[in-house]
Chain A
């Protein structure tokens, strides 16, 4: 088998897909060509007063039937073509299609007047399409063969070696017996043919190469991201081990396993433990985000959001009562809607939002969670009357390690990874998250904020 696969086609699957799609497209186009040929045969006779001889019309009908036949066969066979580079593959299939078409076209050109027919332009059209798919050496050889055929046909007709098939009523003066016309015509035809093929082939392969490079750089970037996340995980684990050891010793001392501790010393040690807690929490957050980034697949199942949210509120009941927060959950859906997604990841996302809300509302604050239908999915709103988010910082809150200036100043703990995790999870589910501040629950002192999550059903 001649190897038709170009050097740039390394990502085989995508390449074969594209070729097969084009092959199918040509088959469909050919059905149209058959209809157009038939229309050409009948309409020109009626509307333009052109007459075909008996031989011509018989030949053209036979050719049309032939095209229709081989097109049907191609259509039947296309599915059984395997994308195997060593055997008969879609590229060979393209080549076969093209050769069949060129043979049919050569016959049509002959039976519609040789040099006098405008249908010869279809040669150029065919060859340009061929140059987009087939490698240069093949398409160039075919171009030369077509040129030879055309020259041989026109010269042959001029010298009377081949019988000329004129369309009666088309031209006032015959052209096939005009040598100057034949020479100029053949020259221009050859020139245009070669230029079109070479240019189309060059541009196409450049485009393919660029596409290829793009795919490769995306691959490279993805690999680099995975490496980076693995590196971060490794590094953070290394940092966590000594932190854990410090923490364990502080616990052992503070819980008096080594005997009594001086009051002043104890106070400072408690402080030290709380700082090491902070560091460990941060490290855990980084680990979670990195692992989440590495986790490309989500384990999918049917989830009833209402149950999930209710369970979540239950988990946070202690914290909610401690601050005496008025928390309401409304299910305003008119349509019952189950979400397809990863229950575990969504739990993390929602619990991040709820714990933020609890953290940032003041004593006796208000939190509302509202579930409703929106478009073809559901919307979940987490609304609070907490400290809110400065409006110029709203666009940044979903970035890694971003913490709004008003929380930094008020000594809230946190690494700033929570919302970036939430966004990541929601986007993995094909959803969207938006934040506004102030919220409808807010007031002058506590503007509040609201997060809207949209999830497709």
Chain B
């Protein structure tokens, strides 16, 4: 079964997301800050990363996503954001954020599962 890494600075979000994904049989590993997040991704090579923007951290989620891509870690990334991406304000127009999907918090369990499954099947289809 697929392994999913969740990186978020909110403990309860990690807990709730893990609960939902575990119930569908996914294996979940979590990290509470970008540094640990980087480590667990390096060590466990998950099939999918769920990454929070983590505005309060000095190296935020965008930075971490870029770091992964620079190191040729091409694992699909779902990014949790606080403000709707559709509002377009969080990112500069030319800023390239190398993630596969943006999700505005809060995300309902159904939607989360749907997005995760969609991304994983796309990945399988590609490889």
Contacts and interface: CB of A to CB of B under 8 A. Distances in A.
Contacts of B20: 252, 257
B118 interface: no
Interface in B34-88: 55, 82-84, 87-88
Interface string B8-42: 00101100110110010000000000000000000
Given A240-B82, A257-B109, A248 B88 contact: no
B12 A249 contact: yes
Given A237-B55, A255-B109, A288-B83, A245 B89 contact: no
8 A-B pairs with the lowest CB-CB distances in the bound complex, closest first: A245-B12, A248-B16, A291-B89, A247-B106, A244-B105, A244-B106, A255-B109, A252-B16
A257 B23 contact: yes
Contacts of B13: 244-245, 248
A314 to B, nearest CB: 16
Nearest to A287: B83
B124 interface: no
A291 B83 contact: yes
B: interface residue count bin: 20 to 34
Contacts of B106: 243-244, 247-248, 251, 280
A344 B88 contact: yes
A348 B10 CA distance: 30
Residue from A244, A287, A299 having most chain B Cβ neighbours under 10 A: A244
B1 interface: no
A401 B7 CA distance: 35
A249 B107 CA distance: 11
B110 A288 contact: no
Contacts of B55: 237
B16 A284 contact: no
Interface string B86-122: 0111000100000000000111111000000000000
A284 B84 contact: yes
Interface of A: 237, 240-241, 243-245, 247-249, 251-252, 255, 257-258, 280, 284, 287-288, 291-292, 295, 299, 344, 348
Contacts of B109: 251-252, 255, 257
B25 to A, nearest CB: 13
A421 to B, nearest CB: 11
A299 B83 CA distance: 20
Contacts of B10: 241, 244-245
B22 to A, nearest CB: 9
Given A240-B82, A245-B12, A247-B106, A291 B87 contact: yes
A171 to B, nearest CB: 78
Contacts of A257: 19-20, 23, 109
Nearest to A254: B109
B45 to A, nearest CB: 27
A295 B82 CA distance: 18
Given A244-B10, A251-B16, A252-B20, 19 more contacts: A237-B55, A241-B82, A244-B82, A245-B13, A248-B16, A248-B107, A249-B12, A249-B16, A251-B109, A252-B109, A255-B109, A257-B20, A258-B19, A287-B82, A287-B83, A288-B83, A291-B87, A295-B89, A348-B87
A237 B82 contact: yes
Contacts of B108: 251, 255
Contacts of A240: 82, 105
Contacts of B83: 284, 287-288, 291
B7 to A, nearest CB: 15
A245 B13 CA distance: 6
17 contacts: A237-B55, A240-B105, A241-B10, A248-B13, A248-B106, A249-B12, A249-B16, A251-B16, A251-B106, A252-B109, A258-B19, A284-B83, A287-B82, A288-B89, A291-B87, A295-B89, A344-B88
Contacts of B89: 288, 291-292, 295
Contacts of A249: 12, 16
A245 B16 contact: yes
A344 B93 CA distance: 12
